Each structure stands twice: as structure tokens, then as C-alpha cells.
Chains A and B, each alone.
Chain A
Amino acid sequence: MEPIKVRVCVGTNCCFAGGESIIEALEDDADLAGFVKVEAIRCLDKTCAGGAESPVVTVGERLIKRATLEVVMEEIERQALPLILGAPDEEGRDA
């Protein structure tokens, strides 16, 4: 499977609002290795609105403002589970 791309803004606003701790936690999480690709990125066109919406993280296509580790992990799980388990069969059992 193609790993899910998680991009974390490490511009100064986002770093200070917790972006740095999110990216460190994702990189240190051995369970995520292989199906999540973590990338530190520069400011996304001031999406953070001067820090009010920091930190900014994207998981796959989804943009998360005021991201927390909990929300990012939840989104990773939501996107990753179908990839890991495959689509459930007709009776709803896991593949």
C-alpha cells in the first residue's frame, strides 16, 4: 500500500503551537512506520492566519487546523484502517 502522507508545518507559529511535538511524536511512533510518511513543511500560504489556526497539519488530502496529536492520530487511523484491513466483505467481516 501507498503510505499516507502526513505533512506538518514547522514554521515558527505552528512549531510553537505544538507542531514540533506532533511531528516528533509521529516520527517516534514505531507502529506508524511503513504506512505513514511524515514530512516537515514550510508555511502553507499563511493558512495559520498569524498563528490563530496553528498548528496546521495535512493527513492525506485532509487539512487540519489547530491540530492536536489526538486529532491527527484519529485521522490517520480513519484513513489507514481500510488500507490495512482491506474492505469488509458482504457480511461485514474484515477481509
Chain B
Amino acid sequence: MPEVFERMRGLYTPCTDIRRKIFIGITRFVLSGKKPEDIDYLPFSIIDMGKPTYRCCSYKELSIVRQRVRLAFGLPLIEERNNTPVSAGIGQAFTRSKVLAAPIVNVITAACEKCPEDKVIVTNMCQTCMAHPCSIVCPVNAISFPEGGQAFIDQKKCIKCMKCVKACPYQSITRMVRPCAAACGVDAIHSDADGYAAIDQDKCVNCGLCTVSCPFAAISDKTELVQVLHQLMGPEESRPYALLAPSFVGQFGRLASPGAIAAGLRAVGFRGVREVALGADCDTILLAKRIAERKAGAAGIVEADEGASAAGVAASAPAAPRAFLGTSCCPSWVMTARRHFPAFAGNIAESFTPMVETARLIKEKDPGARVVFIGPCIAKKAEALEPELRPFVDHVLTFEELAAIFVAKDIDLAAIGPSEFPAEASSLGRGYAVAGGVAGAIAETAEKKYGAPPLAVAKADTLRNCRTMLSEIKAGKSSPDLVEGMACPGGCVGGPGTLMGLAAAKSEVGKFAGLAATRLPECECGGEE
């Protein structure tokens, strides 16, 4: 069975529809010069009162849309159940400055249908059969047949061992797990006192996979659309640069070439466009150098360890093979690894992410420049809130949010003729978008450029798999030199802010990587920290 976020992926569902309509509605609202006091009219350009499309009635739709609008404006959620108008303070979003604050990922309670958290249930397929293997295999005697009818599971006794599920000849018993919680790789979603889904913000790492897994679209991230639009509408000098994450290729349709996407960005008002693969090149060089140096010094370390053991000092110290280097480009992976495996915290590279490295390249030349990172990623919105990174990255948009700007401005990327995309980054840097690409780039660069021996690489995508990988390393089952973690399935191309299917996106990224001027990274900073 595919992971929960894989099942709806690539389908255009009413959840996709309402999210995109909100983004387009908001963009048109801001571009047409509407003021905060006009906000009450905005929902009616998104839904049609009297024709409920998504919910039981238009009034519930209206209430939920107001809250979605609030989040999309970048403001903290206010629900009507708090007896406060949802539009309270909306005026503060009408600015070029940053208003975004944690938490990034939010449950809209009015939209949450209180799915059972995790329950083994008997469906109507139960035939009340003579054999009833379900109750025979149940180790805790939780299954009975009230009044001789269909099987019934006493939830207080059930330990979810799944034995009945496997034994039923009619496949009538199933386990129902709340999709948001099933999507969460760090177990951050629980229920509040009323049974609504609630996010434990101390555990959440902002991967955002719950936002695209909830079949009621009840979980949503905040956006910086409104503030970026204000910058784009502002005077020339206030207009930002666009940084395109390596997964951008193909995201805006198969006829929108990288050059057309860059031309489209300039047409909506961005001052310039750079690819984040440039910053990826800096990171590759930095980590490849470090790991090559470490390997070169490894012989010495082994000797030292042996000496220490002989002296009986290092008996409890971690074994040398655990001294792996972990990639640092996926913020959700980094947070997960550091929180769940504190002993490995020092193994994850402290280097800036490719987003920050690329922003730095721009700001070094033009200190007053504003920078908007555009990617598949919700975690980057949280990363850019880190106090030490704030000076580099001003705002973060997803591909989906950017596409709404193109649509609202009626810019058809497929109609833009052949346009050049400057070949600045290496093939390996452009490959960061796909799972395995980061470790692959570092290993190949370490070997070919810095003479490292062949490296043992471990990699995992999705946070659950990342945690399993680290557990195995901790247990000594594997001892890699280099470890890559990615929160999203398939890597960044599988991120929640993407627009294109995984297979097509991977292939487009591969093609674009092939067009780079060099395979190995060459970076101006030469791997200086």
C-alpha cells in the first residue's frame, strides 16, 4: 500500500481546486488595488453562495474560506468559534515587510472532520461467517458478535495487532488511520479535547505533507503571497530577485521551458532570476572537501582509537564508523535527525542550505536586494524565519503560489518563445532536487575532485524512512560515510508545493541537469565557510 500522501498525488481534487482558487482570488484582489476594508467581498470571488461545492452548506464553506484567506495572507489563524471576526487585523498583511510567523502549518478546525485517530474497524463486508477466524485469532478477546450479527471490535481492548485483519476471508476488517497523522513522519499530530486534529508545534518539522494528505483540506500552511505581491507592485528598487529551487524544471507545464519560466518571472516584476543549484554547488564543494579530508585523516583516527582502547579510556565512546557526515539541505530532515537522534546532532553539516548560499551570492553583490525563494517546500518558510538566516532570504513562495501569480496576471508561459536560461550551475547541483542527488553530488565530487576513496552512502526519503535509517546506523547495522535525508517522497520533486507528477518532474530535472556547462561543481567561494 503506498504512503497516504502518494495515493492522492497528481490528482486534481476539490482540495487542490479550492487551494488554487484561494491563491488566484487573493492575487487578483491585491493586484487590483483592493484595500483591507474590501476583504469581506473576497470570499465571494472564490465560492458561489447558494451552490455548496465542497461542504454541507455555503455558510460553512464561507467560514472556512475566510480562514483559508487569513492563512494565505500570512496571518495567524482566527476561527469564528473564538467569537472573533476572521478579518480582524487583516490590514497588517498589506505590506512589503515580512509578517509571517510560526506556526507555519495550521489545522483549520472548522474544516476538520474529526476522523478517528487510529482504529481497527469491521466494515459491512462482514458476513457473520461460521468460521469467524477474527475472534479466534484475537489475542485480547476484543471481538464479539452482538445479537449474532456482524463482528464488533471493543476498542478499549483492541491492541491493533492486525491479526483479525489478516485472518478475515472477506477482507472485511480494516485499519483506519487519520490521513494527516499517517502522513506525519514525526508523530506530531494528535487530537484536541473535542477530537479535532491538532499539531504539536514542538514536534512539527514543517514538512507539510499533512497539508496535501488531508482529504478535507483542513490543514494548511501560511503564505507570503500578499507581501511578495506588494513588492512586485512597488518601485523598481524594491522588487525582489527570484531564486528557483532545483526542482522548478517542468513544474509549470511541459511547454514551459526553464527559460520561459525565467522570462515569466521577469514579466510579473521580479528583478532577476537565479537558480538555487548555484548554492547547491557551494554546498557540494564544502561537504565534498570536508569528507575527503576526513577520509584522508581516517588512518590516523583509527590508530588513535586503538591507542585509547588499549589505555581503557574509550570503551564507551561511539565507534569510529558512526562519524558520518549528514546532508543539511532539507530543513525537516535536519530538525528530525537532531531532535530524535541527539547523539548524531553534530554529524549533520552546519553549512547553510543551498537556498541561503544562493541568497548570499546575490546580497554580497547587492546588499539592498530582496530575495524570494520559490520552491516545492513548506519547511523553507520556517527556515527563512530563523533569526540568523533572516538577513539572507526575505520571503518564500511555493511553485503553486507562484503559478497563481502567473494565472492572475494572465501570463502564459507556454506562449513565451524559446528563451535562454543561463547555464550557471553544474549538472550535479541541478540534481539536488531528486532523492539521492545530494549525496550523489557530494560523493562524486569528493572522489573526482578531491581524490577521496569510494564512499559508503546511506540515503532515505520520507521522515519515517529517515528515522529508520538513523536507527540502523545507531544500532551499528550500517556505517556510512555520508548520509542523505529528504523529508519528501522522491526528494524535493515530491514536495507539497509542487505542481507536476513525480515521474515527469524527475525526468525534467534530469534533462535540465544534462544541459549544464559542467558536471562537477565550480564555485566562486571555493568551499570557504
**In the bound complex, do residue B17 and residue A21 qualify as a contact, i.e. CB atoms below 8 Å apart?**
no
**In the bound complex, do residue B252 and residue A12 qualify as a contact, i.e. CB atoms below 8 Å apart?**
yes
Question: Which of B99-107, B357-365, B403-411 lies at the interface?
Answer: B403-411
Q: Is the C-beta of A18 less than 8 angstroms from some C-beta in chain B?
A: yes
**In the bound complex, do residue B404 and residue A43 qualify as a contact, i.e. CB atoms below 8 Å apart?**
no
Residue of B nearest to A24 (CB): B501
**In the bound complex, do residue A12 and residue B12 qualify as a contact, i.e. CB atoms below 8 Å apart?**
no
Q: Is the C-beta of A15 less than 8 angstroms from some C-beta in chain B?
A: yes
Interface string of B391-413 (1 = CB under 8 A from A): 00000000000011011001111
| B interface residues (Cβ-Cβ under 8 A, vs A) | 10-12, 16-17, 20, 24, 252-256, 264, 403-404, 406-407, 410-415, 499-501, 504
**In the bound complex, do residue B255 and residue A10 qualify as a contact, i.e. CB atoms below 8 Å apart?**
yes
**In the bound complex, do residue B407 and residue A13 qualify as a contact, i.e. CB atoms below 8 Å apart?**
yes
Q: Would you list 20 pairs from A and B whose C-beta atoms are within 8 A, ordered by A residue?
A: A10-B253, A11-B412, A11-B413, A12-B252, A12-B256, A12-B406, A15-B252, A16-B403, A18-B16, A19-B253, A20-B499, A20-B500, A21-B501, A23-B254, A24-B10, A24-B500, A24-B501, A40-B253, A43-B414, A51-B24
Q: Is the C-beta of A84 less than 8 angstroms from some C-beta in chain B?
A: no
**In the bound complex, do residue A12 and residue B414 qualify as a contact, i.e. CB atoms below 8 Å apart?**
yes
Q: How far is B499's CA from A13's CA once the two chains are assembled, in angstroms?
A: 13
Q: Is the C-beta of A58 less than 8 angstroms from some C-beta in chain B?
A: no
A interface secondary structure, majority? helix
Asked whether A18 and B17 contact (CB < 8 A) given A12-B256, A24-B10, A40-B254, the answer is yes
- Write out the residue numbers on chain B whose beta carbons fall within 8 Å of the beta carbon of A16: 20, 403-404, 406-407, 499
Give 10 A-B pairs besides A12-B407, A16-B20, A20-B499 with Cβ atoms closer than 8 angstroms.
A11-B255, A12-B411, A15-B256, A15-B499, A16-B406, A24-B504, A25-B11, A40-B255, A50-B410, A68-B12
- Write out the residue numbers on chain A whose beta carbons fall within 8 Å of the beta carbon of B410: 13, 50-51
Q: Top 10 nearest A-B pairs by Cβ distance?
A: A18-B12, A15-B253, A21-B12, A10-B253, A11-B412, A24-B501, A11-B414, A16-B403, A12-B413, A12-B406
- Write out the residue numbers on chain B whose beta carbons fall within 8 Å of the beta carbon of A23: 254
**In the bound complex, do residue B20 and residue A17 qualify as a contact, i.e. CB atoms below 8 Å apart?**
yes
**In the bound complex, do residue A43 and residue B415 qualify as a contact, i.e. CB atoms below 8 Å apart?**
yes
- Write out the residue numbers on chain A whose beta carbons fall within 8 Å of the beta carbon of B414: 10-12, 15, 42-43
**In the bound complex, do residue B504 and residue A42 qualify as a contact, i.e. CB atoms below 8 Å apart?**
no
Q: Is the C-beta of A6 less than 8 angstroms from some C-beta in chain B?
A: no
**In the bound complex, do residue A11 and residue B10 qualify as a contact, i.e. CB atoms below 8 Å apart?**
no
Q: How far is B65's CA from A7's CA once the two chains are assembled, in angstroms?
A: 33
- Write out the residue numbers on chain B whose beta carbons fall within 8 Å of the beta carbon of A12: 252-253, 256, 264, 403, 406-407, 411-414
CB distance from A64 to the nearest CB of B (A): 14
Residue of B nearest to A23 (CB): B254
Q: How far is B260's CA from A42's CA once the two chains are assembled, in angstroms?
A: 14
**In the bound complex, do residue A21 and residue B412 qualify as a contact, i.e. CB atoms below 8 Å apart?**
no
CB distance from B251 to the nearest CB of A (A): 9
Mark out the residues of chain A between 9 and 51 whose CB falls within 8 Å of any chain B CB in the assembled complex: 10-13, 15-25, 40, 42-43, 50-51
